[in-house]
Structure 1
């Protein structure tokens, strides 16, 4: 299953459980608008220009349970993994932790940096990034460059910063 790569900017894959806010986040990054999204079947892709010299090709891959076996098809040429979690939904953290562990176990992602985005920080009951990183067991990934940041796709908070950090992680790795 080959995917056509149209640009030479580094490929960044956005993954996470369904309803984590991945498509909202991508639409917000690319257009500055909040879009009505429906569950992603397959993927969305776009090129994000961070500044004059830096752009990233960002793939947002469907997160429903039935879609997750397909995640591995998107990992070729992946330079960074962005894993989005809904920080307002602690009940799904164990499932997110398992999904993350599984995808990071793939050989293709061996030295690939990870950015975890704790989305929906605009909601009053959202977990702190410390809680999210504990729930996802991020400290166990000591052999990998990783960062965690809070953001709100709906409000557009923290997105630009997060992807600037992703770009820096790619350069470091």
Structure 2
């Protein structure tokens, strides 16, 4: 009974649920972002082997966020997390100019998978607090996102340690998701 009532209220008041996959190269800031969103505090992280999953609620949207390790030996396993993904958060270390091409290739590989054809793409141009970090416009250009015609995408500057820009990214995802459930 209570479940039926909460579902009805969810439909009435617009509660949504969204499966988010957060990927990116190792040390880009994925886990720091996840726990800043979840706990609103910076946590000391170690390289993620496997995954972390947390539910983050923001403005009546429950984001089920899967943060999967980004080391090159783990990346072939990413595809096992694609099914049912509505939004991809791809995290870029904006200060790591040496690996932006590697990040572009990985992003292209992810988006080429048929399981990911309908998902939104939210890119966090992370580590904006570091001197010389690439701007969102530069990240957009280096990733070749302007060539992407059949997908909704958005690049937003962020700083995982301060939380700057993170909720704006969730806002964009919540406004653009299709097929949400209560």
Q: Please report the TM-score for the alignment, with normalisation by the length of structure 2.
A: 0.87
Whether 1:67 and 2:39 are equivalent positions in the alignment is no
Q: Deviations over 1:111-166 (max 9, x none)?
A: 21101110001112111111101111111211111111000001110111111111
Whether 1:114 and 2:121 are equivalent positions in the alignment is yes
Whether 1:154 and 2:141 are equivalent positions in the alignment is no
Q: Quote the residue 2:18 is aligned against.
A: 10
**2-structure distance, mates of 1:147, 1:16:** 15
Q: Does the CA-based 8 Å contact 1:122-1:155 persist in structure 2? A: no
Cα offset for 1:58? 0.5
Runs of at least 5 residues in structure 1 that lack an aligned partner in the other structure: 1-7
Q: Once superposed, which parts of structure 1, at least 4 consecutive aligned residues long, lie more than 4 Å away? A: none
**2-structure distance, mates of 1:97, 1:54:** 29
CA RMSD of aligned residues (A): 1.4
Runs of at least 5 residues in structure 2 that lack an aligned partner in the other structure: 1-15
Q: Deviations over 1:62-113 (max 9, x none)?
A: 0000010000000111001010000011110000000000000000111211
**2-structure distance, mates of 1:105, 1:171:** 20
Match of 2:85 among 75, 78, 87: 78
Q: Quote the residue 1:4 is aligned against.
A: none
Q: Quote the residue 2:3 is aligned against.
A: none
Cα offset for 1:172? 8.5
Q: How does 1:11-160 map to 2 (within 5 A)?
A: 11-51=19-59, 53-160=60-167
**2-structure distance, mates of 1:169, 1:39:** 31
Q: Which of the two has higher C-alpha Rg?
A: 2
